[in-house]
Amino acid sequence: MSTQLNVSDGDAVRAVLEGDREMYRVLVRRYQDTLYQHALRMVGRADDAADIVQRALVNGFEKLGRCRDPEKVGGWLFRIMSNLCKDFLKSPRRDDLSIEGASAAVIDRSDPSDDLERGELQSSVRQALEKLNAEQREAFVLKHLEGRSYDEMSELLGVSKSALKMRVLRAREELQFMLKVYQ
Amino acid sequence: MNPDLRAYLDGELSYEELSPDLRTEASAWEVLAHDMKQGEPPGAPPWLEGAVMTEVAVKPAPARKETALHWLLRSRTIHMSPLTGALAAAAILVVLLLPRAPQSVATDPASTRTTILVEFRLEAPGATSVSLAGDFNDWETDMALEDSDGDGIWTGRVPIQPGIHKYMFVIDGTEWVTDPNAERYSDDGFGNRNAVLAVTPIT
Nearest CB to B36 within list A36, A105, A159: A105
Average pLDDT rounded to a whole number, residues A46-50: 93
B35 with A176: Cβ contact below 8 A: no
A24 shares contact with chain B (CB less than 8 Å): yes
Residues 125-184 of B with CB under 8 A from A: 125-126, 128, 150-152, 171-175
Chain B residues within an 8 Å CB radius of A150: 10-11
Query: At residue A53, does pLDDT exceed 90?
Result: yes
pLDDT band at B200 (very low <50, low <70, confident <90, very high): confident
CA-nearest residue of chain B to A108?
B28
Q: What is the pLDDT of residue B202?
A: 64
Q: What is the pLDDT of residue A99?
A: 43
Query: At residue A14, does pLDDT exceed 90?
Result: yes
Query: At residue A105, does pLDDT exceed 50?
Result: no
- DSSP of chain A, one letter per residue? ----TTS-HHHHHHHHHTT-GGGHHHHHHHHHHHHHHHHHHHH--HHHHHHHHHHHHHHHHHTGGG-S-GGGHHHHHHHHHHHHHHHHHH-TT------TT-----SS-----SHHHHHHHHHHHHHHHHHS-HHHHHHHIIIIIS---HHHHHHHHT--HHHHHHHHHHHHHHHHHHHHHH-
**Higher pLDDT, residue A116 or A39:** A39
Average pLDDT rounded to a whole number, residues B84-107: 42
pLDDT in tens, A113-126: 444 455 555 556 66
Q: What is the pLDDT of residue B174?
A: 79
Query: At residue A77, does pLDDT exceed 60?
Result: yes
pLDDT band at A52 (very low <50, low <70, confident <90, very high): very high
Give the residue from A38, A51, A54, A76 with the most B CB atoms within 10 Å of its CB, the best one to mutate.
Answer: A54
Report the sign of the C-alpha dihedral through residues A161, A147, B41, A4, in that order. Answer: positive
pTM for this entry = 0.59
Residues 60-79 of B with CB under 8 A from A: 60-65
A133 shares contact with chain B (CB less than 8 Å): no
Q: What is the pLDDT of residue B142?
A: 79
Q: What is the pLDDT of residue B150?
A: 77
Q: What is the pLDDT of residue B189?
A: 66
B50 shares contact with chain A (CB less than 8 Å): no
Chain B residues within an 8 Å CB radius of A53: 44, 48
Q: What is the pLDDT of residue B76?
A: 43
**Higher pLDDT, residue A140 or A123:** A140
Q: What is the pLDDT of residue B79?
A: 43
Q: What is the pLDDT of residue B49?
A: 95
B109 shares contact with chain A (CB less than 8 Å): no
Q: What is the pLDDT of residue A61?
A: 95
CA-nearest residue of chain A to B27?
A107
Mean pLDDT of chain A, nearest integer: 80
Chain B residues within an 8 Å CB radius of A63: 62, 126, 128, 150
Query: At residue B43, does pLDDT exceed 70?
Result: yes
Q: Please tell me the distance from the alpha carbon of residue A114 to that of residue A169, in angstroms, as a whole number.
A: 32
pLDDT in tens, B44-94: 999 999 999 999 999 888 877 544 344 344 444 444 444 444 454 444 344
pLDDT band at B21 (very low <50, low <70, confident <90, very high): confident
pLDDT in tens, B111-164: 445 778 888 889 888 888 899 988 888 788 778 998 877 778 898 888 888 888
Q: What is the pLDDT of residue A119?
A: 54
Nearest CB to B62 within list A16, A79, A143: A16
Per-range mean pLDDT, top range of A89-103, B30-44, B89-103, B146-160: B146-160
Query: At residue A161, does pLDDT exceed 60?
Result: yes
Q: Which residues contact B20 (CB under 8 A, 6 or more apart)?
A: none
Chain B residues within an 8 Å CB radius of A105: 28, 31-32, 34-36
A176 with B1: Cβ contact below 8 A: yes
Query: At residue A54, does pLDDT exceed 70?
Result: yes
Report the sign of the C-alpha dihedral through residues B171, A167, A172, A141, in that order. Answer: positive
Nearest CB to A68 within list B49, B55, B126: B126
Average pLDDT rounded to a whole number, residues A163-169: 91
Give the residue from A83, A123, A129 with the most B CB atoms within 10 Å of its CB, the best one to mutate.
Answer: A83
- DSSP of B95-126, one letter per residue? HHH--S---EEEE-TTSSSEEEEEEEEEE-TT
B59 shares contact with chain A (CB less than 8 Å): yes
